[in-house]
Amino acid sequence: MSLFAVAVLTGMVTGTIHFSQECPTCVVDVRGELRGLSKGLHGFHVHESGDMTSGCTSMGSHYNPFRMTHGGPTDTVRHVGDLGNIVAGADGIAKVDITDKLISLSGKYSILGRGLIVHADPDDLGRGGFPDSLATGHAGARVGCGIILETAGDTSQDKRLVQILKSEIQEIRDKEKSEQETWDGLDWATVLG
C-alpha cells in the first residue's frame, strides 16, 4: 500500500513538497519546488516537531530518534531528518528530487506530523569543523517551514493537472482579450463605409 504526505512551506521561502512511499520498508521519494531562495545550496531537514506556534523556531532540532551526530543523507551516521542540500538557481527556485532510505511515512519513526525546514545556508554535512557542524550542519537561519501531513493520494499529480488546466485557461483568456482589443481598435466608420 502506497503512502503519501505533503508539506506546504511558508516564510521567506514558500513551496510544496510531496512525499511518497510504496511500502512501509521502501525508500521515500521527496519531490517539489521551493521559491524565494538565494542562488546556491540550502540545508533541508526534517525537524522533530510540527509545532509552528512561533514559526519555524518552534519546530525543535533535526529529527534524531537514534541520537546520532549530524551527517549527509548517504552517511551511515546521521540524523533521520538529515536530507542534505537542495540547490536554487539564479531565479530563486529549487526543484526538489530526493530519494531517502531512512525517513518513513509509517511506523514508530514516521516523519508524519513533524516539521520540514529549508535553511538560508548550505549544510556542511557535519564536515565543516564549526561548533554546530555535528548538530545542525552549520546551515544557518530557518527561512521556510511546513508540517508534513498525510494525504489520501499522490496530490503532486493532481496539482500538475490543475496547473496545466490553469495555464490553458489563461491562454484562452489572453487570446480572447487580444481578439477583443483587435475589434476595439478598428475604425468602425471605415469598416461600415
**Residues marked as catalytic:** 45, 47, 62, 70, 79, 82, 119, 142
C-alpha 82/C-alpha 62 separation (Å) is: 7
Q: With 0-12 CB in 10 A as exposed, 13-18 as middle and 19+ as buried, what is 158?
A: exposed
Amino acid letter at 108?
Answer: K
The closest of 116, 100, 131 to 20, measured between CA atoms, is 100
C-alpha 79/C-alpha 136 separation (Å) is: 10
Residue 33 — φ and ψ, nearest 5°?
Answer: -145, 135
Give the torsion sign (CA, 114, 118, 121, 127): positive
Residue 17 C-alpha cell reads as 513538497
